[in-house]
Amino acid sequence: MGRLEGFGLDLAAEPVRGRVTSARGHGRAALCSAGAAVKGGQMTVDEQRSAETPRAPSEENPIRVLIVDDHALFRRGLEMVLAQEVDIDVVGEAADGSEAVTMASEMAPDIVLMDVRMPRRGGIDATSAIKQAVPSAKIVMLTISDEEADLYDAIKAGAMGYLLKEISIDEVAADIRAVYNGQSLISPSMASKLLSEFASMIKNKDDRPQLPTPRLTDREMEVLRLVAKGMNNRDIAKQLFISENTVKNHIRNILEKLQLHSRMEAVVYAVREKLLEIT
C-alpha cells in the first residue's frame, strides 16, 4: 500500500505557490461562511451544534479542502490523490503558515490539512490564527513530526486531528470525511504518547486549590473515557449499545458543561482535572 511520503508519481510541473486550485479543474468563489458570529474568537453553543452537523458532501457540494505544506511535490501529490474523490474539492494550496491564514480567511475552507514545521510561520501558530478568523474550519495536522510537544500544542491551538505522513494514501480521503463529520483523529502511535504525557502531567501536577469542576453524569463519563481511548462515535455507540446520535448528544453536553470546543480538549481537561485516570 502506498504511503504519503512516496507517491511514486512524476510531478515535474510544480504548482504556483499560494494559487487557488480545484481538484476537478473549476474555480470556486472565496466566500466567508454566512452568519458565523464570532464572540471573542470562540463559537457559541448553537454555532458549535451547527458545526457538528455539517451538510452532506456530494459532487455538487463537496468538502472544500486547503492543503498547507512547504513541499510543492507533496502538495501536488496529495491534490492528485484527492482529485479522484467526487465529494472532495481542493480549493487552494499554501506553502507556509502565513499564506495559509490569508487563504483560509478568503476561502473559508471546510478542512485544512496543515504541516507543522514550515518556514516564515509554522503550522501550529497558523492553526490558532485560522481558528480565530474562520471558526468553522476544521484543521488536521499532517506531518512527519512525532514530537509530543507538537501534538499537545496542536490540540491547544484547536486542531481536530494529528496524523503522521506515514499513513496510507487510501486513508486520507476517509480521514477528511471523518473530521468533516465531527470526529477527532490521532495517529495510533501519537495517541499513546499523548496518554503518556497526560499521565506525566497528573503525576507532576502541583497540589494547588482547585475550582469545583462541572459534574458529568455517569454516562457522560463513560463516553469521555472511550473518547480518551481514541474510539470514534460509531465504536462508542456499539460499546455502550446506544445510537451514534446519542453519542453525539453526550459529547455535545460534555463540551457545553466544560465550556470547551473539541473532544480532544475535553480529554485534556478531564485528565488535568483528574476526572479521568490514564494508566
State the Rg of the chain over Cα: 19
Conformation bin of residue 122: beta by default, left when phi > 0, alpha when psi is -120 to 50: beta
Q: Is the pLDDT of residue 3 over 60?
A: no
**Mean pLDDT along residues 170-180:** 90
Supply the pLDDT for residue 212. Answer: 56
Q: Which residue has the cell 488535568?
A: 272
Q: What is the DSSP secondary structure assignment for residue 44, as one 8-state letter? A: -
| pLDDT over 90 percentage in the chain | 40
Confidence bin at 74 (pLDDT 50/70/90): very high
Q: What is the pLDDT of residues 242-251, one digit of tens each?
A: 999 999 999 9
| The CATH number of the domain covering residues in 205-272 | 1.10.10.10
Q: What is the pLDDT of residues 196-216, one digit of tens each?
A: 666 555 555 544 445 456 788
* Residues facing residue 90 across a β-bridge: 65
Residues 253-259: contacts with CB under 8 Å, at least 24 apart: 253/220, 254/216, 254/220, 254/223, 254/224, 255/48, 256/45, 257/214, 257/215, 257/216, 257/220, 258/214
Q: Which residue has the cell 498547507?
A: 68
Q: What is the pLDDT of residues 16-46, one digit of tens each?
A: 334 333 333 333 332 223 233 333 333 433 3
Residue 87: exposure state from Cβ atoms within 10 A (0-12, 13-18, ≥19)? middle
- Cα–Cα distance between 191 and 151 in angstroms, integer? 9
Please, are residues 183 and 251 in contact by the beta-carbon 8 Å criterion?
no
What is the torsional sign of CA 219, 154, 8, 27? positive
- How many C-beta neighbours within 10 Å does residue 258 have? 19
Q: Which CATH superfamily is domain 45-187 in?
A: Response regulator (3.40.50.2300)
Supply the pLDDT for residue 265. Answer: 77
Q: Kindly list the domain boundaries of the chain, sorted by start residue.
A: 45-187, 205-272
Residue 275: exposure state from Cβ atoms within 10 A (0-12, 13-18, ≥19)? buried
**Mean pLDDT along residues 174-188:** 87
Supply the pLDDT for residue 39. Answer: 30
| pLDDT over 70 percentage in the chain | 69
